[in-house]
Chain A
């Protein structure tokens, strides 16, 4: 692989928590050297020199929880379109969900999706496998075989088991093998049949609402099982203030627990649903503004570790329905970084800290080598202009499905180029 030197960049280093001006030398797909501006050493300019024009260069995003329509729903999203969307969004590693049709619950299906990813995607793809067969919450999958076949985590996604005994066994078995379990904390009984978060807004719209307490109940149950079994545990989305004390307690008690949050719950609230806008229907439902602010604060404190896009493509037909019947989920691979930058522009989080949550923490949690801007790390990088204004036009998205809640909204910050293993896989416009 040819060498490349990215000069004149503002380097975001999430490990050291700093932004420094300098250059990155890439060789053999890895970061070979980092040169700070002002030091005397000349870049060992072998190969192509790319002038970053003073823009930000950060480790590429590692996105846990991307839904791809393969197998089963390729009309919604394919590996090819998702791969392009990821590249355009600065996502260099997609960790894909198991909630496909059929479910990724055997090594054979896992091999199929990983093959498809290899054929179609320029970004790195890792796969999760289901924790239980068919995501039915009753019998555990072949966790050992699936690990051997490359599964990086085990998750039934939003199909929450109603059988704590089965879950306890799956957690124990996973613990034995050192596997990471990713869970959707939500009490299945309390949330059944609901479409929004309960409260004044739900009442006004006449929509069935779920109490935010359902998330805490789901989390508390999971954490009790984690304490019982010792499994490595990640909560996919913590979105309410009521869950945070339980999470803090578990971490303080030394349990191997991390938590994520979706970008939508950090940047939108329940009022955005407005007049039954189904593109704002996500799982769990958007929360109150108080809960959104609590989630942002928890992210900023490091209590919440990871931001995910929770990219969920849905076609128009499944969204153009009465709110309760409409499908949940939003595409977000391409809007993840611009919307996350809203938090930076609002002064709620610093850039290095943001990339801890977007890149470093998810890579660490999954045991992947990426997410770092350091010598020896894979040269998976995103170059972006943090201040570039634009209005999002959903028809321009690379995703096959265009169900973004941000259509027509003003954004500030845009990906200019994306590199995977030192190879430029996306470029917004010709760099100078």
Chain B
């Protein structure tokens, strides 16, 4: 099995084997990350640039730590305050950064497809750290790793994804990944937060949370994407919490050993009960964060292996 991708722009182009390669390697990095000396040298001497066109603390920190633990020189660029404001186009920014010879670009952008566009213009590997409502592949991979470690497998599970599906790139990437791994996916939320044509993705859709949660193995909550909404998707946060917020009573309809996940940051009391989120017997939210660093290390390691591999010309020379 060879992981031969140059970029990680989404889950869509990945095969089952690709996904398993990433998760297997990530398991090793989890072990490394729990040691006192967390250094590896997969990215030694390489340059990683994090370009975040949209605010992020957690994801950016996770990528930065992953790169540093692998020995890369990591630079963070906060793009909202930079040349974009001066009118530079995304492509010009990409070309400018490209000229500085980075090996890895980690990009988050508020516009769907923007990372694909940027990846066309640069020579290095590009990792999509979230683009609009399109994909957030490393989040889906870290969720998969968390599920696999908690449940012992990543197939034939019944998984509920709840809340704001319409605006969520996390939901899209997870639907794609969990579908590829042959799980049963249930989407739960009000119709206003379900994107059009979602049933064609091979999922079951529920408007009633208790019905939707019945006997599921995994409950994945989503954040209400207030910043992506142009108004009027739900009547109020308190009604949303009443109908779709996860609390112990609603969780009682799931399988007794169901785990609770949330990609963060949480709106406590809007989509999830605060006590439940902190319950270490049910919630794996902190593990998700831990797996995030390991999965990102694995992804970067695998991508640069392709960069480091000798080209055909070098082999024949």
Residues of A within 8 A of B (CB): 193, 198-209, 211, 275-276, 317, 320-325
Q: List 9 A-B contacts (CB under 8 A).
A: A199-B197, A200-B196, A200-B198, A207-B112, A276-B112, A276-B117, A321-B117, A322-B90, A322-B112
Please measure, in the bound complex, the distance between the C-alpha atom of A150 and the C-alpha atom of B125, giving whole angstroms.
Answer: 58
Bound form: Cα–Cα A211–B133 in Å: 18
Tell me whether A276 and B90 are in contact (CB under 8 A): no
A204 CA / B197 CA spacing, docked (Å): 9
CA distance A203 to B168 in the complex (A): 10
Residue of B nearest to A192 (CB): B230
Q: Which residue from A198, A275, A324 sits with its C-beta under 8 Å from B197?
A: A198
- In the complex, A324 Cα to B112 Cα: how many Å? 8
Are A322 and B196 CB-contacts (below 8 A) given A204-B172, A206-B169?
no
How many contacting A-B pairs (Cβ < 8 A)? 72
Bound complex: CA of A189 vs CA of B111, how far in Å? Answer: 21
Sort A-B residue pairs by CB-CB distance and give the 9 closest, nearest first. A200-B197, A206-B134, A276-B113, A322-B111, A206-B133, A322-B114, A206-B112, A198-B196, A203-B195
Q: Which one, B116, B196, B230, contacts A199 given CB within 8 A? A: B196
- Whether the pair A276, B116 counts as a contact (CB closer than 8 A) is yes
Residue of A whose beta carbon sits closest to that of B121 = A320
Shortest distance between the CB of B122 and any CB in chain A (Å): 14
Shortest distance between the CB of B56 and any CB in chain A (Å): 17
Q: Kindly state the separation between the CA atoms of A373 and B111 in the bound complex, as whole angstroms.
A: 51
**How far is it, in angstroms, between the C-alpha of A202 and the C-alpha of B201 when the chains are bound?**
12
Kindly report which residue of chain A lies nearest to residue B195, judged by CB atoms. Answer: A203
Decide yes or no whether B89 CB sits under 8 A from chain A.
yes
How far is A202 from B198 in the complex, measured between Cα atoms in Å? 10
B96-113 CB contact bits vs A (8 Å, 1 = yes)? 000000000000010111
Select from chain B the residue with minimum beta-carbon distance to A199.
B197
Knowing that A203-B197, A203-B201, A209-B196 touch, tell me 12 more A-B residue pairs with CB under 8 angstroms: A198-B196, A201-B197, A202-B197, A205-B113, A206-B134, A206-B169, A206-B172, A207-B134, A276-B113, A276-B117, A324-B111, A324-B112
Q: CB of B200 within 8 A of chain A?
A: yes
Q: Are A203 and B113 in contact (CB under 8 A)?
A: no
Give Cα A323 to B109, complex, Å. Answer: 12
How many residues belonging to B are interface residues under a CB distance threshold of 8 Å?
25
Q: Give A201 to B198 CA distance when docked, in angstroms.
A: 9
Q: Are B89 and A320 in touch, CB under 8 angstroms?
A: yes
Say yes or no: A211 contacts B196, CB within 8 Å. yes
* B172-210 at interface with A (beta carbon < 8 Å): 172, 195-198, 200-201
Chain B min CB distance to A280 (Å) = 12
In the bound assembly, the distance between CA atoms of A70 and B193 in angstroms comes to 43
Residue interface mask B129-145, A partner, CB < 8 A = 1: 00111110000000000
Interface membership of B91, Cβ < 8 A: yes
Most chain-A CB neighbours within 10 Å: which of B89, B111, B133, B172? B111
A323 and B132 alpha carbons, distance in the complex (Å):
11
B-chain residues with CB within 8 Å of residue A208 when the two chains form the complex? 133
Contact A321/B89 with A201-B197, A276-B113 known, Cβ cut-off 8 Å: yes
Instruction: Verify A325–B111 contact, CB threshold 8 A.
Output: yes
Cα distance A317–B114 when bound, in Å? 15
Q: How far is the CA of A209 from the CA of B109 in the complex (A)?
A: 19
Whole-angstrom CA separation of A165 from B298 in the bound complex: 61
CA distance A211 to B196 in the complex (A): 9
Q: B117 contacts which chain A residues (CB < 8 A)?
A: 276, 320-322
Q: Are B196 and A205 closer than 8 Å at their CB atoms?
A: no
Cα–Cα, bound, A320→B93 (Å)? 13
In the complex, the answer to whether B109 meets A202 with C-beta atoms within 8 Å is: no
Closest to A209 in B: B196
Nearest B-chain residue to A317, judged by Cβ: B89
> Restricting to B212-234, which residues have a CB under 8 Å from any CB of A?
230
Query: In the complex, are the beta carbons of B111 and A193 less than 8 A apart?
Result: no
Check B198 against A203 for contact (C-beta < 8 Å): yes
Question: What is the CB-to-nearest-CB distance from A189 to chain B, in angstroms, rounded to a whole number?
Answer: 11
Name the residue on B nearest A201 (C-beta).
B197
Q: How far is the CB of B155 from chain A (nearest CB, A)?
A: 23
Complex CA–CA separation, A200 to B198 (angstroms): 6
Q: Contact at A205–B112, with CB atoms within 8 Å?
A: yes
CA distance A199 to B201 in the complex (A): 11
